[in-house]
Chains A and B, each alone.
Chain A
Amino acid sequence: MEPIRKNHISRSDPERNPKGTPMAKSPDLDLGTSIIPKERYISKDFMEKEWDGIWTKVWLLGCREDQIPEPGDFICTNIGQESVLLVRQTNDEIKAFHNVCMHRGNRLADEGLWHADRFVCGYHGWTYDSDGTFVDIPDLETFPQGKPPCGGLVELPCDTWASFVWFNLNPDAEPLEEYLGDLIGHFEPYHFERMAMTRWVTAEWNCNWKASVDAFAETYHTAQTHPQLLWYLEDLDVQIDLYGKHSRYLVPFGLLSPRVESVGEIPPPLKAMLKSAGMDPASYEGSINEIRDAVQQHKRLTQEEQGKDFSDLHDEQLTDDYNYLVFPNVTTNTHSDDLMLFRHRPHPIDPNKMLFDVWMFELIPEGEEWPELPKHDYRPEGSKRSLGLVIDQDASNLASVQAGMQSAGYPGLWLSDQELRLRHFHKTISDYVGE
């Protein structure tokens, strides 16, 4: 579908909110035009390079702080063939440990959210305190060499930021703040700590984890894959910003794509946007492409009565999708009233599979009660249950892409400027794996 016009996209004045999320376009980088070899998506060799060069070196998102509020609360989360325990301590700190008993290598917990004052190995009963130290080794006198000198579970770097808990498999990792860099100033105005987690799903997908990241890093596929979104957002005039290893794009919401023409009535997705902003679509008299501006103004005017403090956000953030990749595997659809966060995890051994985590958050108006934390909803391979229309549409491409990439007739990714973030993503991967 060829564009039929150029939309006028109003931009907020950054001077009105100098401490807000940076809006300026990052300098352009020349990343070339070469093919991205498909082996990066299908070969076990490359998967191993990623393990050594990326997964064991970078900061990884573990959970939300409020998922483990009390001492002894912990989450067990896997990355590749590793498994990690993130444990709330009696002094309120959070520590990360390898999830393995130092005796015979048994895992101490399965993936999920749990509580334990002590970790007891199910095999021989080796027992660890929640700070990881040995509490009891049954029949210790039968170990002539004594206890393992490590003193307990092997601890990993762990830190919190913006209500999230992060860990690193590299004991010598740089500080988290240094790793996240500029993104800290980008995210802080959204106040994720005011948002409640409402959904926690993990789905097994039949594709490489990078294919999944790719699907959330370009708007070029909107017209073919998500035609309904053409009636809701701008898919062409999209600002792409590259920041070191991370990247983002800014997608204006609340108007028609330049690929479609107004049919004179407000499309259902835009009606939903008006309603969720507290506006009546039947009373809206402006043009359809001015809904974005009208929603921004209405949300700004009514924020106090709605119990929502948007004072740190630019007007355009009240409608638009600021969409980030926190390298390597966290993508965020960042909005004023909600956060859709996806974690794209590699399969332990198969480059053709991955784990897709959906974490949804909603801004809770001041004074309103927070909902209960969501239970983990695990969708094994082949599950037909919907993850929502847009994600289902992406997922249906991805298994097909992974199958297609095996073809002798396909050399690799042939990318457009609209897919610049994918090229940047691969450049960062090259930097980490040393290619």
Chain B
Amino acid sequence: MSQTTLERAVEDVGPLRAVFITAMPDCLLYDAWERAEDGFEVEEIAAYFGDLVRSNRQGLKALGSWSSDMQVTIESAESLVVIREINEHFVCGCVFERSAPLGMVRLQMKRMIERIAEMLPQVEAQERPRGVRLVEFVSRYAPDPHAALMRISVRTGLTMEQLEAAEGLDADAVERLESATKRILGLTQLSV
């Protein structure tokens, strides 16, 4: 989807500040639109929104109350953020002005998602190797990101070169990688 296309999909949505389209399951930025030069790190934000939706999905499934049309709404001091899973391949995160009435936002969100959904391509997503996704995940969320791969290396016995080419890791190596990732992030399970 070109920038022009996304711009057309969000026109007339007055209080909207930014839109991020995340390609799943790898949480990669597909497209973004910003009304002003807010200086957002668009790739990072898209990745965080993707992870958030995935975690939310896991949590709701654990509660037995998951449905495919779920929507996450976050009311922060500065903005109103609504994140919605468009389909299994794409997540849309929208940042609205904080002053926008919630009812109006929901209505606009519904119309906008319909327009965006029509513009998105039909894709057959190919999931990347789990090792690659784990390396990206720990690099994104480790408390000392500059040291994340070195920490994983000494914990797993996998060399830095192996971690940088994680698509070639065998099942045992991926298991060690997952275990080290959980330990570093203080998590008992990963929904990567």
Chains A and B bind each other: no
Residues of B with Cβ closer than 8 Å to A?
none
Residues of A with Cβ closer than 8 Å to B?
none
